[in-house]
Amino acid sequence: KDKIHLILAGKGPLKSEYIDLCHKLNVNAHLAFYNRDELKHIMNQSSIVVHCANVEVEGMACMEAFATGCVPVIAESPLSSTSAYALSPQNRFPAGSKQILAKRIDYWITHPQDLKTMSANYQNYAKSLSIENSARKVLTMFEKAQKNYVSN
C-alpha cells in the first residue's frame, strides 16, 4: 500500500465512507470530482486504472484512460462489456472480488517491465479504436455488403 497513491474520481453517495475507510487503513488517497482536463492530467501521471463499474455500456472512460498509457484492471460483470478491452487475464477481475483485484494490482506493481510493455500495448490498441479506424471498418463492411447484394 505504500507504493500506491489512490485517486477516487467522483463524488458519489459513499464518499464520506470511503474517506473514513482510507483514514482508518492509513491509505494514501484523494477523493474528489474532476473535470475532463483534470482527469486527463491525472491519467497522464498514472500507471494503473481500475475500472470497477458493474454496469457499463460503451466503456469510454476505460478507453480514455488506456489511451494515455494507464494499464486497466477491469471488472467482469454480466451488465458491462468493458472487460472486452482486457488484453490479458491480468487486466480483468470478477466484479466484486476485492481479493482478485488486489492480486491484479500487486502483479502490475511487482512487474514494472510488464506494466511498461502493457502500457505501450494499450496505447497502440487505443489507436486501433479511433473514430477514423472505426469509420473505415464500417465503410469497408458496407462496401462488402453492397457487392454481395449486387452479385446475388
Same domain, 28 and 52: no
Average pLDDT rounded to a whole number, residues 68-80: 95
Residues 127 and 57 in one domain: yes
pLDDT in tens, 85-96: 999 999 999 999
Check: CB of residue 34 under 8 Å from CB of residue 64. no
Domain count across the chain: 2
Residue 94, domain extent: 47-151
Residues 18 and 59 in one domain: no
Claim to verify: residue 145 and residue 93 sit in the same structural domain:
yes
Give the model's pLDDT for residue 56.
84
Q: Does residue 93 sit in the same domain as residue 144?
A: yes
pLDDT in tens, 132-149: 877 777 888 888 888 888
pLDDT one-digit tens code per residue, 20-72: 999 999 988 888 889 989 998 999 999 999 998 888 878 888 999 999 999 99
Q: Do 14 and 51 reside in the same domain of the chain? A: no
Does residue 139 share a domain with residue 83? Answer: yes
